[in-house]
């Protein structure tokens, strides 16, 4: 199964970001990708954390169709037109409190319908003398792991686990997902990314014997923030199959069910796990 991680350098302008995302999704479809993943905050990296509140969209309806909002419409249209699965990085989804939103990954099938929703569980908090982040000031945490089934064109049914950025530091979430392919849309800071990004992604791949596809923000943004980038695909042995350092573009690679089965058969660590 061919997959694509879409790397962006999102601006504080929704229309500009949506145009960039649409172009990258079209490129992924033209390249034959069955699954395309956008980064966290693909729609906006604003000047202030509260900027995302004005862009809050209602959750998709029970039928999986977008209930309104340009980000969901883009994701649904791209999935249907490209006949691929589209994972919408994150979209700010409204909560009953107008001062908070969920940071939500939405998965759209080739039908254009939303088939999975994951609200970010772990909210980033990081402080140094020069940097300060506190997602809990604007975001409401979600509850529990979410995975979905993706039937690929070759007949394999992939169990795909959802996570977002800071979740990467909590291995118990990934173990609970029990997935074959783990998705990690992110906006890692430059400071933490240069030290921890790759090693954490490879660790999650190795310990879960799963493919890991990470779509990142990567570059200097209009609000002055710099994100690490290095969108990548890692295989179940922890090998890096494809990556992009910085800047807008695609990371294309292939996930093979045979490779997954071989790794899990040769080193059946998942069956050896003992919980105290």
- 2 belongs to the catalytic site: no
Residue 151 CB neighbours (<10 A): 13
Under the phi-then-psi rule, with left for phi > 0, alpha for psi from -120 to 50, and beta for the rest, what region is 32?
A: left
Distance, in Å, from the CA atom of 161 to the CA atom of 128, rounded to the nearest integer, reads 32
In contact, 105 and 117? CB cutoff 8 Å: yes
**E-strand stretches of 145-200:** 147-151, 157-162, 181-183
Q: Do the bridges between strand 181-183 and strand 157-162 make them parallel or antiparallel, or are there none, so unpaired?
A: parallel
**52: phi then psi, degrees, rounded to nearest 5:** -70, -20
**Active-site residue (options: 34, 40, 180, 246):** 40
- 120 belongs to the catalytic site: yes
**Active-site residue (options: 52, 114, 120, 255):** 120
**Active-site residue (options: 34, 57, 135, 165):** 165
DSSP secondary structure code for residue 222 in this structure: T
- 149 belongs to the catalytic site: no
In contact, 38 and 6? CB cutoff 8 Å: yes
**E-strand stretches of 79-153:** 85-87, 91-94, 101-108, 114-119, 125-127, 132-134, 139-140, 147-151
> Which of the residues are catalytic?
40, 120, 165
């Amino acid at each position: 199964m061919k997959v694509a991680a879409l790397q962006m350098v999102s601006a504080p302008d929704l229309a500009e970001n949506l145009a960039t995302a649409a172009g990258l999704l079209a490129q992924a479809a033209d390249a034959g990708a069955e699954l395309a993943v956008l980064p966290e905050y693909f729609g906006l990296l604003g000047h202030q954390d509260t900027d995302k509140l004005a862009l809050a969209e209602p959750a998709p309806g029970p039928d999986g169709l977008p209930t309104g909002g340009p980000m969901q419409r883009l994701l649904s249209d791209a999935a249907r037109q490209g006949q691929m699965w589209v994972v919408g990085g994150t979209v700010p989804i409204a909560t009953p409190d107008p001062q908070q939103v969920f940071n939500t990954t939405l998965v759209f099938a080739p039908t254009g319908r939303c088939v999975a929703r994951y609200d970010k569980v772990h909210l980033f908090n990081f402080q140094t003398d020069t940097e300060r982040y506190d997602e809990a000031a604007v975001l409401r945490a979600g509850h529990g792991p979410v995975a979905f089934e993706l039937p690929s064109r070759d007949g394999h049914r992939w169990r795909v686990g959802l996570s977002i950025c800071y979740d990467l530091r909590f291995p118990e979430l990934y173990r609970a997902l029990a997935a074959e392919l783990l998705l990690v849309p992110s906006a890692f800071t430059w400071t933490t990314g240069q030290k921890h990004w790759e090693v954490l992604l490879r660790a999650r791949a190795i310990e879960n014997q799963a493919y890991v596809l990470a779509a990142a923000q990567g570059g200097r943004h209009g609000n002055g923030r710099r994100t690490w980038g290095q969108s990548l695909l890692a295989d179940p042995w922890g090998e890096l199959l494809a990556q992009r350092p910085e800047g807008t573009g695609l990371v294309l690679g292939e996930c093979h069910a045979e490779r997954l089965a071989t790794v899990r058969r040769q080193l059946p660590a998942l069956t050896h796990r003992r919980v105290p």
